[in-house]
Every structure is written in C-alpha cells, then in structure tokens.
Amino acid sequence: MRLLFFRATVGLWLAFTAASLAQELPVTAGFGKILFLDPKTKQLDLVLDPKAIYLENECLKAGICTGQNAGQIMDLVYKPMNLQLANQLVPMGYCRERYNAEGLPEWVTPTNIQTEIIEQGGARAVAKVSYEFGQPGTPDGATVARSALRSTKTYTLTRGAACLIVRWKLENVGQTVFELNPWLSHVGGHLEKSLAGLANNRLLQPEGPVNLGHERWADPVTDWTARTSGPTNSEELPMVCSITDFRQVFQHLFWQRSPRFTLQTIYSRIALKPGESWQTDYVIAAMPNLGNVTYVAPELAASVDVADEPLQPGREARLTVNIAAAMELGEKCLKGRVLDANDRPVLELPERPVRLTPGKIARLDYRFTPPSNGVYRLSLALYAGPDKLPLGKIVGSQQDAITLPLVVGPPPAVVIPKWQNDGFAWARRKAREVKPWRTLVNNAVLKAGQILVPDRIFLEDTLLYEDALRPAFIRLAGGEYECLQFAIEIPAPADPMALEVGLSALRNGEGAALEKAEVREQIYLTTETPSYFLGFPIGQWPDPLFESDWEAKIPNAPIAQQNIAFIKKGHKRVYWVTVRAQPDARPGLYKGAVTLTLAGKPAGEFPVEVKVNAFVLPRRATLRCSTGMVGWHGNGASNWEILGLPAEAVKTISKNARDQYWRLILEYGWTPTMFLSGVTSWEEYKNVGRGLSVFPSGKSKGNEAWLITNNVINYAYIYAPFDEHTDQKIPEVVAWAKAWKQESKIPILDCYYGAKVEELFGFVDVWLGQSPKSPWWGKPTPPLGWGDKAVARKQAGDQFFSCNANLIWHVEFVPAECRSEFWNDFAVGVDGRYVYSTCRWTEDVYKKNWTSGNYMGCVVYPGPHGITTSIRLETLRDAVEDYDYLALLRERVRRIDNSRQMPAGPIEQAKAILEDPKLAEKVNTTITLHEMRNRLADLIEQLGL
C-alpha cells in the first residue's frame, strides 16, 4: 500500500517538475561488474560480483550484488558530484543484513539466490534480489528446509531522484519458528573522500544533536537525522542518509573505525511462524552535505544555523535554513511558523520560494525573537501551488513538514522526543526452584546451602533445602585453585546487609594449612537489552566477585548501591571461597569452618572439608592459553573514580592496574599477550603464577636470541598483521611471511578464516581459528578425525589454536556449557587457545557496554581493591585445569602402555574417556562435569600408583 502511495506521490512531483528538467532521460536497469579495490595495487582490479544489477538515472548509479553479498549495494555513485559513496576497500555495502536469532550465525551466507529486473527504461526502474539462509533439514514432501528464512529486497529508482527505495521482506519458508531482531547496515561508508571530516557526523538523540562516536547506541527520535560527511555546510561532498520507519526500530548502532563506517539499524523483535512474513520500507538517499542535519526525509534533509548563538529571550536572531534535496523537486514554496513546546504558534514565517535540485543546497533566512527560554520548533511545509507535498510518506513515519529544533537558554534533558516503536518488552527471568547440592545451615535465623560451581544463583531463585546437614566440600589437586560457592538466606525482617562471614584456615590432621582460602561475594550486573538481542532474560546477572569488605570500601559506588538494594529485596547473599593447594601440599583431608554473624550476634556455623588429590598439576598449563587486552582502560582513572575511591587510592590502583591484571591472569594459567612482548617483561613475569605459556614477540633479534637460549622459541609467535583475514588476503600474507622468515625464526601465528590453507603451508606456524577437522584439511584420519593435511602440518611442527571462547562473550551464556569447550579442545587435539580480550572495558564498565553483547570480552572488573575476578574468569581457570587433568591422565596411560603394565579396568576406562570424540557433550552440565572430573582424579591416582 505504501509503495502504491509513493508511486502516486512521485507522479505528482514529476508533473510539477517536468518543465524544469532539461531532458527526461529513461531510468535504466541492467547487469554489470562490481569492482573491488586491490589492497596491493590500490586499483579497482578485483571483481566482487561479475553479474550485479545496476540501476541508473541522472542522479544515482547503484550496483546491487547478486552473489555471496546478495542484496548489498556495493557500488553507489552520486552523479551530480561524480563521487563513489560505497566502500570499495572492504565488502560491507549498504543494505547488509545481520541476524541475531537462535540457530543463525551473525552474518548469513545466502543460498538459492534469485534476481529479477521487473521494470526499466521509463520513469523508473525496479529490480528484485531474493535468497535463503538457515539450517537445512530433512525435506518434508518437498525441498523445504527444516529451518529457513527467505529475504527479498525490491529496489526502486525513479527519474530525478537521488534516493533508492528498498522494500525488505522476510518470509519463514521453513518448518520452525524464528524469533529474531532483523539488523541492517543501512549505511556503509567510503574510506576517504565521502567520509572525510568525521567530526561533522551528527546524530539526533533525545538530548539533542551530538557527534557520532565509535559504537554509539541510540534510540530513534522524531525527524531522525542521517550520517553526514565532509566540511560543515559543504556542497563539495555528499552525505548518505538512511530513512526508515522508526515505529519498527529498536536501536541504532554506529561504527566509525577505518576502513569501516556504518550505521546499523536494529528492528524490534519479531516471531515468524512457518509461512508468516514481515516487511519494512526504507530509503538510501544521497545529497549535498549539511553540517548539522536535524530533519531528514526521503526527498530532502534540512538543518538550521543560528547567526548569534546561543539563542536568548528577547533578542532577535537570524536563522538560516539549509535544505539539500534528494529529488528533483524544482521550484516550490515554503510556508511555516515557529511553535513552542506545546505546539502553539509564536511566529508566522513569511512564504519563501525555493528551488530544490540534487547536488545543491538551498538556503533561506528568517528572523526570530524568542519570547522566553525553552525548546521551539521551526516548522516548514513544502507546497507546489496550492497543494502541500507530503514529505516522508515513502516510509510512513517521518513528519510531513520540516521541523527544526531551536533551544533557547539552558538546554533541557530532552530536546527531541523519541518515536514509539511497535512495542514489545524483553522477557525477564522466570523464578526457579533450586535444590542446593548440600544443606549447610538450617535454623530459625538463616539458611545456607552449597551450590556446585559454575552454576549461578539468581535473585529470582527459590532455594529448597534438604533436612540433613552436611559439610561443604570441594576437591582439588596440588597447585590447583578451586571454588566453593554457598548461598545464605536471611528471612525478613532481618537486614541481610548485617551479615558477616568468617572463614578459618583449612588444616589437615597435622596442622598444615592450605596456601589460600579467600571469601568473595557475588555481585550482580544489570542488563536492559539481551546480548545480541537473543532470547536471554534481562535483569540481574551475577559475575564480579568482590572482596567481602566491598560494602564498607565503596559504599557510595552506583554498583554497590544497586547490589545493596538487590540484596535487601531478595534477602539472599551468595559467596565464593577461592581455595588453592600449594604444589607440595600433602594429599588428604583439610578442614575448617565458616562462621556466620548477624547484627553482631552468632547466627550459624558450618564445617568445610577440602580433599587434596594425590597428584600435582603441571608447573605450566598444558593448554597454551593467551588473552589479548583489547579495550584495556585499567590504567585510566575513570573506572576507579566511579567506585568512589579516594584520589590517592585511585592514583595507586591505576598506576599498578596492569601489573595486577597480568599477575591475576598468569595465576590462572593464561598469558597476557598485549604489551607483554619483550625480554624485560618475559624475565619479570615468566614464573608468576603458572608462568608464561606463550611469548608474543615483535621484530627483535634480542627477543629471538632469548627465546632460543631459554628453549621456548616454539612457544613464541609473531601475530601476522592480517587479523581474521579471508582467502583474498593470502597473497599479501605469503609475501609478508616470506620476508619475515628470511629475518627471524620466531613462528608466525595467523588468524585465518578461509579454506585455501595449502597456499599458506610453510608460511604459517600457528593456525588460529582453523579446525584441523575442517573438510579443506583433507581426508579424516584416526584417532582425532584430523584431515590428513592437518596431520602432515602437525608432523612438520605446525600448531593449532582455538579462537576465543564463549566464556568471554556474554554474561548470559551458561558457564558449564562454555567450560565444556575446553574438553572439546582436548578431544580435537588443539595446542592452545587465544581469546581477543578478557579486560574489555569502557570509561564506566558498570554502566556502559562496549558493544551489543553484555560484558563482551570483560571477565575482570574494577573492584574495591583494584582488579577483581569473576565467575567467568574462575570458570576460565577451571577449564584450563580440566585440560590439565585430561593431559595428566593421558600421560599416565602412555607411560603404562610403554611399560606394558596394563591394569585392565582402570586403563580401559581411561582410554574410553580420552578417545571419546564427543567428550564435551558428556560434561556440558554442572553435575556431569563434576562427576567426570572426579572420575578423572580417581583414575589419575589409580594409574599413578
């Protein structure tokens, strides 16, 4: 219906403007090549799409991909200025889709692509591209996939228009329900010319126009603006606007980091049953640049400049209205008025003629004397004779008049109201009934129960205790950390913040104590939007583990105040005790006690038992785990200041934060790989905790000599400077690697997501992100199922690292399931794991996330005493130690095999575990994880005798 209305409206405009057009050229559609910039030659030599659809009129030339980038506009030329607006350096064009749905990858690979040119050669051209994606399943009487969506984009370009209208339709052509947030990169950006002057990129937010920032989130607002580029009020460079129906929009995301500049629109959540569909219309418009756009519609964009800012009551001001056209509208008339905050007219504006044509900015001056402070709106309607032109009706959600805000005096908190989307609410967590693994205390004052790690207890949980009381219990090896988790309920009317927890030393029968036993409390984070808009409930998620004096240390910090409120409301507190047995700890049982005091009076006590196994973890973690430090803000003051710490404490903590972080990570079997890359730091940190297990390096003969002397050259790497590259980058990688290997013996680590691995044989030493089981690695071979080419590379000395881990992604992920990934590392046989960051903070990590994932890459936090650990970091440590258990058992089996001592029962049980290709599936719940881990410990002890 909207498209029909648009056709009629365009027809009206064309009738009014025909006389002003020197020649009515036909709008064409056809097929052609989209070329891509060769990163080596910087020439348009690479063919991105050999048979793209091209739509062209006197204003725009748009190339629409029909291959693997189906539906993306990868070639967009604004003809009045003869400038390329698409990014020809990276394949991220306009109209690129992303999906955040269970069972769908973030970026989809289109299949069953169909293209059609519907109309061309007259006053308009229309083309359509459709494709499918999803998870194929068993056909049901036809070729319908079990789980599939069809995406269709219909593109319309009309005569005299520098805007392309797109109708996007999603259809569920499978047999399962899809719940998803459609996510579209409306606007891509060129590397240099059309996005020069990034400081002038402007965005309307409810508090007023602001500069676009890196990954800024925004809610849509009335007369929402576009991305702009170039010098202020310039006609030399174009801007690209995306105009959409904001009633369907949830949020926007902006990315500004060379060479990608995108504006992404996240639509409200939809649920499509089989056979159902959803659609929206949007416009990609190009027009001359304006510095401070505060109104945008498919036909035009507008801004207002104030000659003598700021506006003041009683003082006349000259206002200059700037209008850039995206359509050839010809001679028109502007009529308008100034309205106050209650939409009452305070000034009638004189009628003004205006000529609107693509490639030019029209400017009109007005005079306005504000009567008082407040927010006013300059409202201008566009007329062709007696008829008002209904601006913005192509997408149906913009105002039909140009509305420009005028702030007089101090700006209020909200300048521009938000649009209301179609409306939905993210689900909150439903209450659960949880039975503690052991009941520890059950009296009239309080109750306590042990919960096996890494299960989490939420505010909504109801704990169901058994009658029998038992001691709290954990088990660990020499040199190992383990956590004991217990929840304490304090019924009303008692104040749960009056609880104090004490822990005695943990001693064996001879009086010897374990090295470490430290009490921390679980702290809740609050989510308002689920990570990646998936089906996680919003609300409180536990993760940081604060030292037990946090309430006294940071009483006024927002995160502390929030948690005090949560605890008082839920009458429940959750504690984690971190225990470590020194490597030479005598095996056996160690005992201690937890004492509970409420408002200064004894409230309960329970015994704690720790069993130390008769074996010791290896000095260095067997799985070589390393973490980058992307997003590190610990040495800045902001994250410590928001905790309310004194200035001197902030100074001390921020000065030592990086060292504190490194030491914590090294204690837990991980190597920090950013900034830690030279002989001096290697010498300082090589024996901290479990010590360095990787040695990231740069070009340095001194580094190389040290690595060789210390016999760790095979534990080192240089990160090839082609992060997450595809097959297209292989020639560059090879050239760089050849030069490197002529100068250095330090191995090359390459993060590569392509399939042409053979072209990199002999150049890459550590394969990051490549599974040796992938089909391009050749024929699967026993016992691990590796491709024969991967086996050959392993024999030649190559190593394979897993890339990232679910435990660093989002706070909502299930810890036990994520921990099982490391069991799969063992089953697959990889050598290490690299995660891009464990310390990705913002200036206020407790208030603002870095991306659309809640606490993505953030598993350490600013705490009362500096860097603090978390449930996820403790789980990452446990996961590395799980691998150690498996490696110890494997070594026991090998030793027995070599000595031909074959205890039939235990050795057969051990081999059944070690050779199980689906081992991870056996340990993806907390119960099965602990059962298997205890079984491993028993077998290690039995086979070690």
For residue range 413-439, list pLDDT tens digits in order: 888 888 777 777 888 999 999 999 999
- Inter-CA distances, 557 with 542, 553, 639, 646, 840, Å: 17, 9, 11, 12, 20
The per-residue pLDDT for 637 is 94
The per-residue pLDDT for 367 is 94
The pLDDT tens digits of the residues spanning 544-584 come to 999 999 999 999 999 999 999 999 999 999 999 999 999 99
Concatenate the DSSP letters of all residues of 526-538 into one string.
EESS-GGG-SPPB
Distance from C-alpha of 858 to C-alpha of 835, rounded to nearest angstrom? 11
**Band of residue 13 on the pLDDT scale cut at 50, 70, 90:** very low
Residue type, 823: W
The pLDDT tens digits of the residues spanning 693-732 come to 999 998 889 999 999 999 999 999 999 998 888 888 899 9
Whether residue 454 has a cis bond before it, omega within 30° of 0? yes
Residue 370 has pLDDT above 90, yes or no: yes
The per-residue pLDDT for 236 is 79
Tokens of 252: 């926007």
The per-residue pLDDT for 731 is 92
Residue 262 has pLDDT above 80, yes or no: no
The pLDDT tens digits of the residues spanning 138-158 come to 444 344 456 788 999 999 999
Residue 922 has pLDDT above 70, yes or no: yes
> Under 8 Å CB-to-CB from 858, ≥6 apart: which residues?
631, 808, 837, 838, 839, 840, 841, 845, 850
The per-residue pLDDT for 396 is 81
Question: What is the average per-residue pLDDT within 599-624?
Answer: 96
Distance from C-alpha of 7 to C-alpha of 393, rounded to nearest angstrom? 11
Question: What is the average per-residue pLDDT within 242-270?
Answer: 80
Question: What is the average per-residue pLDDT within 227-245?
Answer: 78
**Band of residue 96 on the pLDDT scale cut at 50, 70, 90:** confident
Helix (H) or strand (E) holding 708, with range, is: helix 701-709
The per-residue pLDDT for 507 is 98
Residue type, 722: F
Mean pLDDT of the chain: 89
Pick from 198-202, 230-234, 801-805, 837-841: least confident: 198-202
**Band of residue 354 on the pLDDT scale cut at 50, 70, 90:** very high
Distance from C-alpha of 904 to C-alpha of 897, rounded to nearest angstrom? 11
Q: pTM value?
A: 0.85
Concatenate the DSSP letters of all residues of 493-546 into one string.
TS-GGGEEEEE---B-TTS-B-SEEEEEEEEEEEESS-GGG-SPPBEEEEEEEE
**Band of residue 15 on the pLDDT scale cut at 50, 70, 90:** very low
The pLDDT tens digits of the residues spanning 865-902 come to 999 999 999 999 999 999 999 999 999 999 887 776 66
Residue 226 has pLDDT above 80, yes or no: no
The per-residue pLDDT for 44 is 84
Pairing outcome for strands 748-751 and 716-719: parallel
The per-residue pLDDT for 223 is 75
The pLDDT tens digits of the residues spanning 504-547 come to 999 999 999 999 999 999 999 999 989 888 889 999 999 999 99
The per-residue pLDDT for 92 is 76
- Inter-CA distances, 303 with 232, 407, 426, 627, 755, Å: 11, 14, 36, 47, 49
The pLDDT tens digits of the residues spanning 173-205 come to 988 888 888 888 877 665 455 554 444 566 677
Distance from C-alpha of 685 to C-alpha of 670, rounded to nearest angstrom? 12
Distance from C-alpha of 945 to C-alpha of 528, rounded to nearest angstrom? 54
Tell the residue number behind the tokens 């996939």, with chain if given: 145
The per-residue pLDDT for 384 is 93
> Under 8 Å CB-to-CB from 753, ≥6 apart: which residues?
724, 725, 726, 769
Radius of gyration of the chain (CA): 32
DSSP 912: H
